A and B are shown apart, each in its own frame.
Chain A
Amino acid sequence: MAAVRSISKVLVANRGEIARRIFRTCRTLGLGTVAVYSEADTGLLHVAEADQARLIGPPRPQESYLVIERILEAAHETGADAVHPGYGFLSENARFAEAIESSGLTWIGPTPETIGAMGDKQRAREIAVAVRVAVVPGSRRFEHDDPSGLDGAAEVLGFPLLVKASAGGGGIGMRRVDDMRSLRDVARATQSMAAKAFGDDSIFLERFIPKARHVEIQVFGFGDGNAVHLFERDCSLQRRFQKVIEESPAPGIPEDIHKRMAEAAVNICRATRYRGAGTVEFVVDAHTFEFYFLEMNTRIQVEHPVTEMITGRDLVAMQIELAAGTLTSLEQDAINARGHAIECRLYAENPAKMFMPSPGKLERYRPPAEPGDLRVETGYREHDMVTPFYDPLLAKVIAWAPTRDAARQRMVSALAKFEVSGIRTNREFLIACLRDEAFAAGNVSTGFIDQRREQLLAAVDQ
């Protein structure tokens, strides 16, 4: 167990809903809160709600939320003694974690070494293989333009395949290729995008599983080789490789598969002496239920409330207490799940125009009331501007009920009551997905939205 370090004030190096959600737990734990914000976010709720707030730069993330020095300055100026990174931005940046620790602050997250190892998709695969967890068949890494090597690797794997940026994640830097003709163009485009986005242009190829499900295991490691899982989340409903609806338990997956996936995830944590909350993502063949390790996210996940709703645990509190050295190691059998939880991501986007972003002013914005079985996480309020500088997430709505069908209906009713206008959103599209026969039957896959887009859009119009 780590030495006890006191934490009294937490700076959240993030914005919007996740900053607010972390502050909420900080207040419960009696900790002070510090927000950082860009010029575009001056009036947002996360800034107003924190005990202290510091402006860290212009709207573009590269000039504010991604600038390590500005965040360190803000922490020192406000007397914060710990930093929580949230998700996205610098949350999986080993250099940031290192800078926080070496400046004497407490980093609420895994060690910089683990972040570095898991952030590199190829090294992460090697770690999984070392503990006998299957990975999707893939190629070696291509550092520079190497067309002959690429062609050969593609022939071995067969089409369709995915071109992936080694440093990518969250669906960014990933493209499907169906034939040899388009391989080189896609590889070149992915490399140049990756060089710009991640400062690393290396890519690799991976076999694409046509009917796949995306199932992930929430894990928590205690940093001493002990780790537990907090069950799975099915995140199969995606558009542009980004999640839209998540739920737990994963419908229709046999119990022994759940169990084996959870064991695999825990083994990865034990092997790396993982510290804190993490998510091990798997791609599951929807027909055979064979599962393969995809990647591990070394941070709190956007969809973590799904797990909190079924387990009654506060994952952010666990993260903070572990960093403070006050968390007692948990045994697996102390963690139980009950009922079913579904999360929908309300995005500022236009489903009819290929989910193009739709920034603008929230003329009307009234989330539904939150009784115990419903949770709404948002960073916005009525009349706020949703700017084009950040991701399109407006709100996460999470519904719980004793059964999947009841949770699904609870969600439909919550979304129907969510009043939002002034910009385009996917609210009605989400309702159409929830009402879709295949979804209701639990027949989900990562191709669900693409394949049923027309009929889902038609249902929106009715």
Chain B
Amino acid sequence: MATVDVKTEITGNVWKVVASVGDVLEEEAPILILESMKMEIPVSAPEKGVLMEILAKEGDVVTEGTVVARLKA
């Protein structure tokens, strides 16, 4: 079981956290939704796994490349 970092691809404001620690996520399942420049952009699980940690909370501003969650794949 490898730990996978989930990174944001863009700078934005965390609008909603839509998954919880312990959830079993399919590949592409959204973990949180960023709001950036009037767009809502999901940050999704890069592969199937168990959500171990969520490192951002609603209202946080995250920059491109920030690790916002960790999965056990």
**Interface on A for B, CB 8 Å cutoff?**
60, 172, 193, 348-349, 353, 356-360, 388-392
Assess whether B11 is in contact with A353, with CB atoms less than 8 Å apart: no
Q: Per a CB cutoff under 8 Å, which of A353, A356, A358, A390 touches B38?
A: A390
**Chain B residue at minimum C-beta to C-beta distance from A423:** B11
Docked CA distance A334–B61 (Å) = 52
Docked Cα-Cα span, A389 to B38, in Å, equals: 7
A390 touches B37 (CB 8 A): yes
Judge whether A388 and B13 touch: CB under 8 Å: yes
> Does the CB pair B37–A392 fall under 8 Å?
yes
- Tell me the complex Cα distance, A358–B36, Å: 9
Size band of the interface chain B makes with A: 10 to 19
In the complex, what's the smallest C-beta–C-beta distance from A35 to chain B, in angstroms?
21
Q: What's the minimum C-beta distance from A152 to chain B, rounded to whole angstroms?
A: 30
List residues of chain A with CB within 8 A of the CB of B36. 357, 359, 388
CA distance in complex: A356, B13 (Å): 14
Is B39 in the interface zone, CB < 8 Å from A?
Answer: yes
A88 to chain B, nearest CB (A): 9
Of the residues A60, A358, A391, contact of B10 by C-beta under 8 Å: A358
22 A–B contacts from the bound complex (CB under 8 Å): A172-B38, A193-B40, A356-B9, A356-B10, A356-B41, A357-B11, A357-B12, A357-B36, A358-B10, A358-B11, A359-B10, A359-B11, A359-B12, A388-B11, A388-B13, A388-B35, A388-B37, A388-B61, A389-B37, A390-B37, A392-B37, A392-B38
Docked Cα-Cα span, A358 to B37, in Å, equals: 8
A353 touching B37, Cβ below 8 Å: no
Interface set of B (CB-CB < 8 Å, partner A): 9-13, 35-41, 61
When distances are taken between beta carbons in the complex, the residues of chain A under 8 Å from B38 are: 172, 390-392
Please list the 7 inter-chain residue pairs (A to B) with the smallest Cβ-Cβ separation, ordered nearest first.
A357-B37, A388-B36, A392-B37, A357-B36, A359-B11, A388-B12, A391-B38
Q: How far is the CA of A426 from the CA of B10 in the complex (A)?
A: 16
Q: Which label, helix, strand, loop or mixed, suits the secondary structure of the A interface? A: loop
What chain B residues lie within 8 Å of A172 (beta carbons)?
38
Cβ of B11 to closest chain A Cβ, rounded Å: 5
State the CA gap A388–B36 with chains docked (Å). 5
Which residue, B12, B13, B38, has most C-beta atoms of chain A within 10 A?
Answer: B38
Residues in A whose Cβ lies below 8 Å from that of B12: 357, 359, 388
Residue pair B37, A391 in contact (C-beta under 8 Å): yes
- B37 near A348 with CB under 8 A, answer yes
CB neighbours (8 Å) of B13 from chain A are 60, 388-389
- In the bound assembly, the distance between CA atoms of A390 and B12 in angstroms comes to 10
B38's nearest neighbour on chain A, judged by CB, is A391
Neighbouring B residues of A392 by C-beta, 8 Å: 37-38
Shortest distance between the CB of B47 and any CB in chain A (Å): 20
Chain B residues near A391 (CB, 8 Å)? 37-38
Alpha-carbon distance between A392 and B36 when the two chains are bound, in angstroms: 9
Question: Within the assembled complex, what's the spacing in Å between the Cα atoms of A389 and B40?
Answer: 11
A389 to B9, CA, bound (A): 16
Complex CA gap A428/B9 in Å reads 21
| Set of chain B residues within 8 Å of A356, measured between Cβ atoms | 9-10, 39, 41
Min C-beta distance of A378 to chain B, whole Å: 16
Taking CB atoms, residues of chain B closer than 8 Å to A389 are 13, 37
Contact B61–A353 (Cβ < 8 Å): no
